[in-house]
Structure 1
Amino acid sequence: MGKILVLAEKPSVGRDIAKVLKSNVNKGAYIEGNKYVITWALGHLVGLQDPESYDEKYKTWSMETLPMLPKNMKLSVLKKTSKQFYEVKKLLNRNDIDEIVIATDAGREGELVARWIIEKAGVRKPIKRLWISSQTDKAILDGFKNLKSGSEYENLYKAAVCRAEADWIVGLNATRALTCKYNAQLSAGRVQSPTLAMIVNREEEIKNFKPKKFYTIKAKGSNITLEWVNKDNNLRIFDEDYANKIINKVQGHDGKIVSIVESPKKKFSPALYDLTELQRDANKIWGYSAKQTLSIMQRLYENHKILTYPRTDSRYISTDIVSTIPDRLKAISIGEYRMAASEILKKKINGNKSFVDNSKVSDHHAIIPTEQKPNLSNLSSEERHIYDLVVKRFLSVLMPPFEYIQTNIKADINGESFIAKGKVVKSKGWKSLYDKDYSEDDSNEDGVREQTLPKLNEKDIIKINKIEMNTGETKPPSRFNEGTLLSAMENPQKYVNVNKEAAKTLNETGGLGTVATRADIIEKLFNSFVIEKRGKEIVPTSKGKQLIDLVPNELKSPLLTAKWEKKLDEISKGKHNPNDFIKEMKNYAIALVEAVKGDNSKFIHDNKTGKKCPNCGKYLLEVKGKNGVMNVCQDRECGYRESVSRTTNARCPECKKKLEVRGQGEGKIYVCTGANCNFREKASQFEKRFDKKGKVDKREVNNIMKKMKKEAEDFNNNPFAALLNKDFNK
């Protein structure tokens, strides 16, 4: 009897599957058992061919050869991981292998990883699909009992191919056209360009913003503060004379209570986490980048197996998960979660519409804990933070609402209206999970401060001790940080002026990119030096602003890429023809190249240093990445780059802030990034400081050095790295 080949996405998952399937003969590139042979990719082993593979003329970047539109796109084995590909190919073609089980990540990209390998290996064997949302032994076992036919995912594969080909056709043609026209490393694409456009537009809004002065008036009694409002309930007055008139009118008068309205209110927990919402909260609370949160989540899902599949865009669970909730609660009945979990387990669990809705779950449900008991001491502090967010949100939706009495008071002072608001907490409900004291003073949406109110009745007279006028200024819109940029990518219609119909399309298609790609797009923008960070804020560089001026208008519109995402979704459901989609992409690429050719704009390098490139003699450009500053050659053909300074993970011995490493070779020094610390030391001296303490610290230095090397590599990752590197780094 033949064997079944299981193809996982990476070695760690392959090992987990092998353990569950009781296959234990480790052959290095695969693990074999009596019935199963388990092997793995290392992410993508196969990709779309480089332009030059189609025609010699594409080796030279020039406008004359554009647009590049190969009749049929071909696949090539990625050099970096070719060894593993040929091992997997050998296994796929083994005579005793009768069937293939695709066990890569259960999503569009995971489908592509496996199918491209199978296609490139030229194998025609029956395919089954393992589709699971958590990596626990139980989930893997259940998944193998319920394998799906590969044909069910044929359309998902077609959509994945269309996505990859669209990015090649649009991205490479746009990038080459802009780069050749302006002889600068300019990268464009169907998701990165509209995302960058939103950042540049926001910067323009801030630059052109003219603050307006406004005035607010408060009347203070002995134990209550009343705030003046106009007939539309606005607190702000934009005319100083009018504000002074009101002050004169109410000065020296007491207030009279006109009405007191007490309303019981209930506030339910926010919905469960999808990836974008989790990335937003992790950025807001802990300052983690979108990419960082995804990789922490991946570890919690894959290595620790205590959270479910991360790349999900749903904030609901399906009805079949409801019966597993008690087991998930038992698993998290530890430490600070024990009390809340035990309380929920005492009662019947009802899967109400607020978190259970099949119609709102496509490929994967919301991120929730698995049935596996965690060992919290095995988690790093980052993993603990993300795990904590997910567990508390999961408990929240199962807990009673936060209940309070909202009191709104209206008063009259000599014919002018004043108001006060207060809140009395009846039951903390789900908010008891969180440390914050929710009865604290708080500002309502209308800007009125919450306060603890005295016991009052209608027609009571309030003695006013003081009337005060405060001034303020309207504020410009705030810059994006990674959290708010994710929101803007998810709902661009809230950030870009579009008509109602366009807003509806954007809303339906889930915005720019997908949950799986947004973090990479943001990284791409940092790595091509079109945006940089100031503190937590994201600002466009001069290169980014100029690039947006040069990119053809349609490519900057979020509507275009949203329409494409919608079509990709329809292809995955069998409702749209993939060939029509690719034809549309090719026509679009032709128009794009023509638009760039016909443009008469200029690109100016305004970040030139006084230092010349050692290779070609042109002036180097100073660019900022996420981890520091580097000089790069302005000539695309040359591609020389050198580090100027980089923030490392080494800590200052005096103030414990991170150290920056500057300079090269003998002149290399460590400098403290702390504002009030003057620590600086030669690198050779700094490393000796560790040597004195013995072996352990030597190892620590090595780790720091390794980490710095990895940071340097990450820093050098260009958009379309594999395809563009050859040309950027000649």
Structure 2
Amino acid sequence: MGKKVFIAEKPSVANEFAKALKLNTKKHDGYLESDEAIVTWCVGHLVRLSYPEVYNESLKRWSLDTIPFMPKEYKYEVIDGVKKQFNIVKGLLTRDDVDTIYICTDSGREGEYIYRLVDQEAKVGADKQRKRVWIDSQTEEEIIRGIKEAKDWKEYDKLSDSAYLRAKEDYLMGINFSRVLSLKYGNSIANFLNEKYAVVSVGRVMTCVLGMIVKREREIREFVKTPFYRIIAKCGSEDGFEMEWKVNEKSFYAGLPVLYKDNGFLEEAEAKRFIEALKKNDPLEMTVSEISKKTEKKNPPLLYNLAEAQNDCSKIFKIAPNDTLKVIQELYEKKLVTYPRTDARVLSTAVAKEITKNLNGLKNNKAYGGYASKILGSGAYKGLEKTKYVNDKQITDHYAIIPTGVNSNSLTPGSLQEGVYNLIVKRFLSIFYPAAVYKKINITGCMECDRSLLKDGETPDNMSSEVFSTSVKVLESPGYLEIAGMPNDDKEGGQDMFSLLNGIRKNDKINIADIYEKMGETSPPKRYNSGSLILAMENAGQLIEDEELREQIKGSGIGTSATRAEIIDKLIRNKYISLNKKTQIISPKLMGEMIYDVVSASINQLLNPELTASWEKGLTMVAQGEISAEEYMQKLEGFVERRTNYVKGVNNQSKLRAYYQRAAANYK
């Protein structure tokens, strides 16, 4: 019987496999070997697509005559700097005494691609059996399960197809679009910036994200504040409570253009006239017309996927998305959490049925062990598979990020690792707790107003009915907030205000101490921070903060959980955008705005988030077998060819100078 080879994505993971298999290995250069098995590793990517000059030396020189460049057969090459490890791996995979290869690269599209390229370039024979290991954490138990349940690698061919297509897509767009735009517009950009030359670097995802950032910046610049005036009644006494006016169908102002939305005026003079009319009432009071009392429940949020974790860590710890990924990857390699590069926010049924393993492990956690013990003792984990936190259909590669239960007391107290780990633990434990329960009271009161005081030249004898309202909400039962963190519910009056309103009854007369206007202003859009940009990428260009809405359009993202942080970093390295490390606020640089204007005038489809998301969705459809790789490739090549040829034919360079000047006016 031949030897088995276990090939991981990097040395640290290979070591975990060797430990889990309890192999008595000897260390060699680039691999570990025992009597029955070999464990080796890649160092990330070992193979890449070859540049055009490998096909033909003349293609090294950029020319409009040689694009679009779309090879019929793609060439690949071993990456300089890792050739030694590639040759070691190649030798092991093709050894005569090896009959089975266990593919243990990361369980996802990119991990699949890393191994497939190695297998392809090493020319591994058909006589070797290949088995794909798919795991969600690096615990010994999960590694052994993954090996035991490993499937024939051919079952992942469609995932492999989508991986190859993703690489070819980025390659074709990057080479053709970057070359044609640089050749067409590089001189005009360089001349404007007084530089020798300028390269226009674009990409399927990168340029779309740049567009989101530039568009937001220009919306902020062009925003004009609109003042408005709300009408407030101070009720009871000077220390009483406030009620705010809102237009209704019986109001004098219903449908009139003097209003800002339905609760204010565009002109201060009109607000003051209204107040004077209201104050003519004697006595100055309103009648309670409606009281509603209800209980509201707030359920624990769904579990973390990478995007949600990156958004929260950006807000809480002020760290960039790549730093969040790095920390969670470190926690994963310490076996403390499950696989980080996931889009799912739910668990699988199989994991839910064995969730007591995770909970039992957390009993030893210094900060949250008591909560885990309470969950286990009360049986709150039972029936988890029937909740919204478990959904097999919402999982593609991996389920949500959760703690494995491995003892975490080795984490340095107060460290970033511990902080991020605690966020994941709190989110996980929250799903076993009940909803937070709020009590809410809403009071509506009516005042009459003489229309003749508001309408010049007419003295109708009827009165308008003007409505004021107020509400207060207080926490009745914390539920999961006991773990997640208690909100400050006293900031708007809290319990005292609730008690005051709770004593009011319908038809009561409320004395009014004063009526006055309160000025407000419309606010410009906010700049993206690194976390909110990740969320916007996940949601096809929309910054959707509401959790339920985010879930509704899930699957329409720009890029993937594994690539979004790197896209932001690449834009920073290209000096197209800047990131304030203290605040994590992102803003464009002049070069970024100029690239945006160039793309907008030439290949504006690259700026369309919905279109970019549709390409990503297409890759998912290939992976799921809904469309063929050939069909996808045909559409891709058609798009690249049409847009490249269009840019070759346009002559709008001189017109862009005005756009450059307009952008440059905002930079020193």
TM-score, normalising length: structure 1: 0.78
Aligned to 1:228: 245
| 1:441/1:450 contact within 8 Å kept | no
Give 1:475's aligned amino acid. Answer: S
What is the identity, as a one-letter code, of the residue corresponding to 1:42? V
Q: Name 1:706's counterpart in structure 2.
A: none
Following superposition, the deviation at residue 259 of structure 1 comes to: 2.0
Give the paired residue count: 599
Question: How much has 1:607 moved relative to structure 2?
Answer: 11
Once residues 596 and 208 of structure 1 are traced to their aligned partners in structure 2, the CA distance between those partners, rounded to angstroms, is 29
SS in 2 for 1:336: coil
Match of 1:664 in 2: none
Q: 1:430 aligns with which of 480, 494, 498?
A: 480
Q: Could you tell me whether the CA contact under 8 Å between 1:509 and 1:563 is conserved in 2?
A: no
Matched-pair contact (CA < 8 Å) for 2:306–2:341: yes
1:307 to 2:337 alignment: yes
What's the offset of the Cα at 1:265? 1.4
Per the TM alignment, residue 34 of structure 1 is displaced from its structure 2 partner at its CA by 2.4
C-alpha spacing 1:373/1:17, structure 2 compared with 1 (3 Å): same
Q: Does 1:399 align with 2:404?
A: no
Given that 2:8 and 2:103 are in contact with CA atoms closer than 8 Å, whether structure 1 keeps it comes out as yes
Compared with structure 1, are the counterparts of its residues 601 and 509 closer, same or farther at alpha carbon in structure 2 (3 Å cutoff)? farther
Q: Which amino acid aligns with 1:271?
A: L
How far has the Cα of 1:105 moved from its partner?
0.3
Q: 2:177 aligns to what?
A: 174
The answer to whether structure 1 residue 477 and structure 2 residue 525 are counterparts is: yes
Moved more, 341-350 or 251-260: 251-260
What pairs with 1:316-331 in structure 2 (closer than 5 Å)? 316-331=346-361
Q: What's the CA shift for 1:575?
A: 2.7
RMSD, aligned CA: 2.7
1:656-684 CA deviation, whole Å, 9 max, x = no partner? xxxxxxxxxxxxxxxxxxxxxxxxxxxxx
1:231 alignment partner AA: N
Cα separation, partners in 2 of 1:249 and 1:557, compared to 1, 3 Å: same
Query: Could you tell me whether the CA contact under 8 Å between 1:266 and 1:403 is conserved in 2?
Result: yes
Which shows bigger deviation, 245-254 or 40-49?
245-254
165, 182, 188: which one pairs with 1:162?
165
Provide the rounded CA distance (Å) in 2 between the counterparts of 1:317 and 1:544.
40
Partners of 1:570 and 1:468 in 2: CA distance: 59
1:344 equivalent in alignment to 2:375:
yes
Matches of 2:294 and 2:414, distance apart in 1: 45
Distance between the aligned counterparts of 2:611 and 2:489, measured in 1?
A: 46
Distance 1:443 1:205, change over 3 A: farther
Report deviation, 1:442: 5.2
Q: CA deviation at 1:338?
A: 2.1
How many angstroms does 1:10 deviate by? 0.4
Matched, 1:468 2:519: no
Q: How does 1:108-257 map to 2 (within 5 A)?
A: 108-124=109-125, 125-183=128-186, 184-221=198-235, 222=237, 223-231=240-248, 234-251=262-279, 253-257=284-288
Corresponding residue for residue 456 of structure 1 = 504
**Segment drifting more, 366-375 vs 6-15:** 366-375
- Alpha carbons of structure 1 residues 443 and 607: separation in structure 2 relative to 1, 3 Å: farther
Please say if residues 198 and 495 of structure 1, whose CA atoms lie closer than 8 Å, have aligned partners that are also in contact: no
Question: 1:68-111: CA deviations, max 9, x gaps?
Answer: 22221111000021111111111111111111110000000000
- Say whether the 8 Å CA contact 1:571–1:577 is kept in structure 2: yes
Structure 1 residue identity aligned to 2:480: W
Return the alpha-carbon distance in structure 2 between the equivalents of residues 332 and 21 of structure 1: 25
Q: Following the alignment from structure 1 to structure 2, what is the Cα–Cα distance between the partners of residues 369 and 450? A: 41
Residues 31 and 37 in structure 1, CA contact (< 8 A), matched pair in contact too? yes
Partner Cα distance (2:500, 2:358) in 1: 42
Secondary structure of 1:214's counterpart equals strand
Matched residues in 1 for 2:171 and 2:352: separation?
A: 42
1:722 alignment partner in structure 2 = none
Instruction: Supply the distance in 1 between the matched residues of 2:331 and 2:606 (Cα, whole angstroms).
Output: 37
Task: Give the CA deviation at 1:242.
Answer: 2.7
Q: Distance in 1 between matches of 2:220 and 2:514?
A: 37
Counterpart residue type for residue 16 of structure 1: E
Report matched runs for 1:562-573 at 5 Å. Answer: 562-573=613-624
Q: How far did 1:596 drift? A: 2.3
Q: Encode CA deviations 1:29-51: one digit per residue, 9 max, x unaligned.
A: 11112222000001001111112
Residues of 2 paired with 1:331 and 1:267: CA distance? 28
The 1:451/1:469 distance shift into structure 2, 3 A limit, reads farther
Alignment of 1:514-529 (within 5 A): 514-529=560-575
1:296 maps to 2:327: yes
3-state SS in 2 of match to 1:7: strand
Cα distance, 1:541 vs. partner?
1.8
Q: Which residue of 2 aligns with 1:93?
A: 94
**8 A contact 1:317–1:366 mirrored in 2:** yes
2-structure distance, mates of 1:134, 1:599: 54
196-205 or 403-412, which deviates more:
196-205
In the TM superposition, residue 193 of structure 1 has moved relative to its aligned partner by: 1.5
Q: Output the CA distance in 2 between the equivalents of 1:316 and 1:599.
A: 51
| Cα contact 1:423–1:452 (8 A) shared by 2 | no
8 Å contact kept, 2:185–2:598: no
* 8 Å contact from structure 1 (residues 422, 453) kept in 2: no
Distance across 1 between alignment mates of 2:554 and 2:477:
37
1:259-274 matches, within 5 Å, as 259-274=290-305
| 1:490–1:510 Cα contact (<8 Å) kept | yes
Structure 1 residues 443 and 398: alpha-carbon distance in aligned structure 2, compared to 1, 3 A threshold: farther
SS in structure 2 of the partner of residue 429 of structure 1: coil
1:488 aligns with 2:536: yes
Indicate conservation of the 8 Å contact 2:411/2:418, yes or no. Answer: no
- Structure 1 Cα separation of the partners of residues 265 and 416 of structure 2: 46
Offset at residue 540 of structure 1 (A) = 1.7
1:409-457 superposed Cα distances (whole Å, 9 cap, x missing partner): 112234421111112322100011134344333599xxxx986644222
The corresponding residue for 2:419 is 385
> 2:584 is matched with which residue?
536
- Distance of aligned partners of 1:272 and 1:260 in 2 relative to their CA distance in 1, 3 Å threshold: same
Which residue identity lines up with residue 541 of structure 1 in the other structure?
K
Give the 3-state SS of the residue equivalent to 2:183 in structure 1. Answer: helix
Describe the SS at the equivalent of 1:339.
helix
Amino acid of the structure 2 residue aligned with 1:423:
K
CA–CA distance in structure 2, aligned partners of residues 176 and 509 of structure 1: 31
Classify 1:22/1:510 alpha carbon distance in 2 versus 1 (closer, same or farther; 3 Å): same
Shift in Å, 1:379: 6.7
Comparing 190-199 with 229-238, greater Cα deviation is found at 229-238
**Match for 2:475: what amino acid?**
V
Distance in 2 separating the partners of 1:239 and 1:452: 36
In the alignment, what sits opposite 1:708? none
Q: SS of the residue aligned with 2:338? A: coil
What's the counterpart of residue 645 of structure 1?
none
Q: Relative to structure 1, is the Cα distance of residues 418 and 347 closer, same or farther in structure 2, using a 3 angstrom cutoff?
A: same
Identity level (%): 37
The one of 359, 365, 371 equivalent to 2:405 is 371
Find 1:591's aligned residue among 642, 646, 649. 642
| Structure 1 alignment gaps of length 5 or more | 497-502, 609-620, 630-730
| 1:2 Cα deviation from its structure 2 partner | 1.0
Secondary structure of 2:136's aligned partner: coil
SS at match of 1:465: strand
- CA offset at residue 605 of structure 1? 12
Partner SS, residue 473 of structure 2 = strand
Report the counterpart of residue 41 of structure 1 in structure 2. 42
What per-residue deviation string (whole Å, max 9, x for no partner) do you get for residues 624-682 of structure 1?
9xxxx9xxxxxxxxxxxxxxxxxxxxxxxxxxxxxxxxxxxxxxxxxxxxxxxxxxxxx
